[in-house]
């Protein structure tokens, strides 16, 4: 097996020399010390490179005993405009750690549905509803991270023209990124032809369309047929009551 010096090994690994030296000291990178310095076999370099490319095992998930109680507390903070309190709740759950899909599906979704229903009934003003939605959007953005490891593939998430509610699509994007998908989140009011064109250009494995009302679900079904024909890729429609968990399980195979 051919050996290289540590500086060359660092270049092959794409890191600074001092980083490679630290790996030698910690035992992560096997090396032999010679009068001219540390030498590393190409096999050892490839072994460490493969280990760094491999996804980390998922952390052990905690469980929430009473989601209803958590939702009530979250609701009270949102309608009061207490963004700090709502953020602390969401961050505490994320650090537990609770699966981000569960946080979206069992905390954000039911509370936002309740707030929307109270706005429709006239017990919350448009301003209060918009404030709560804006807080949720910022909190979801803080949770929007992707674990280490090779992405599963590319997908596109959007809502179509005529659909103004963007939070369900944002939750889908957060959930998919947490499962190592590279997500192009297009937000709201996207023309179907533009959506199909971008999905083709990005080589998307699938497309997700969010729809929150019966009339937009019908439009999404028509658009999905166009996109399937144009891209030859599956399209998932997230309508009222749709499950994020089912979406994630379906695309993860």
At 37-93, the pLDDT tens digits run 898 998 898 888 888 777 666 656 788 999 999 999 999 999 999 999 999 999 999
User: CB neighbours of 51 closer than 8 A, spacing ≥ 6?
Assistant: none
User: What whole-number percentage of the chain has pLDDT above 70?
Assistant: 97
What SS3 class is residue 144? coil
Contact 186, 197 (CB under 8 A): no
At 4-31, the pLDDT tens digits run 898 998 898 888 888 888 898 888 899 9
Identify the helix (H) or strand (E) that includes residue 207: strand 206-210
What SS3 class is residue 32? strand
Strands (E), 42-172: 153-159
**What's the whole-number mean pLDDT along residues 172-184?**
95
**What's the whole-number mean pLDDT along residues 165-181?**
95
Q: What fold does the segment set 67-143 form as a domain? A: 1.10.1240
CATH number given to 153-252: 3.40.50.280
Q: Domain coordinates of the chain in residue numbers?
A: 3-53, 67-143, 153-252
CB hemisphere CA count around 161 (13 angstroms): 7
| Average pLDDT over all residues of the chain | 92
**What's the whole-number mean pLDDT along residues 199-215?**
93
Instruction: Using pLDDT thresholds of 50, 70 and 90, give the confidence band for residue 194.
Output: very high
Give the span between the Cα atoms of 99 and 184, in whole angstroms.
Answer: 21
Instruction: Using pLDDT thresholds of 50, 70 and 90, give the confidence band for residue 178.
Output: very high
Higher pLDDT, 147 or 220: 220
Instruction: Using pLDDT thresholds of 50, 70 and 90, give the confidence band for residue 160.
Output: very high
Q: What is the pLDDT at residue 109?
A: 96
Q: Over 90: is that where the pLDDT of 200 sits?
A: yes
Q: Over 90: is that where the pLDDT of 213 sits?
A: no
């Amino acid at each position: 097996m051919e050996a290289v010096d540590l500086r060359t090994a660092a270049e092959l690994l794409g890191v600074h020399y001092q980083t490679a030296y630290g790996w030698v000291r910690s035992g992560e990178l096997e090396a032999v010390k010679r009068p001219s310095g540390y030498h590393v076999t190409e096999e050892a370099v490839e072994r460490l490179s493969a280990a760094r490319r491999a996804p980390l095992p998922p952390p052990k998930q905690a469980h929430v005993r009473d989601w209803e109680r958590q939702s009530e507390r979250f609701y009270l903070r949102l309608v009061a405009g207490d963004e700090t309190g709502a953020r602390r709740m969401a961050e505490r759950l994320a650090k537990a750690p609770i699966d981000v899909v569960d946080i979206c599906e069992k905390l954000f979704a039911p509370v936002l549905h309740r707030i929307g229903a109270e706005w429709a009934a006239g017990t919350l003003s448009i301003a209060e509803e918009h404030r709560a939605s804006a807080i949720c959007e910022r909190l979801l953005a803080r949770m929007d991270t992707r674990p280490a490891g090779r992405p599963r593939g590319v997908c596109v998430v959007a809502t179509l023209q005529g659909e103004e509610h963007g939070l369900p699509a944002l939750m889908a994007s957060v959930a998919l990124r947490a499962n190592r998908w590279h997500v192009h989140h297009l937000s709201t009011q996207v023309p179907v032809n533009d959506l199909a064109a971008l999905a083709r250009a990005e080589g998307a494995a699938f497309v997700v369309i969010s729809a929150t009302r019966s009339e937009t679900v019908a439009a999404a079904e028509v658009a999905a047929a166009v996109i399937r024909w144009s891209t030859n890729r599956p399209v998932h429609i997230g309508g009222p009551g749709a499950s994020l968990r089912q979406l994630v399980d379906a695309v993860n195979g």
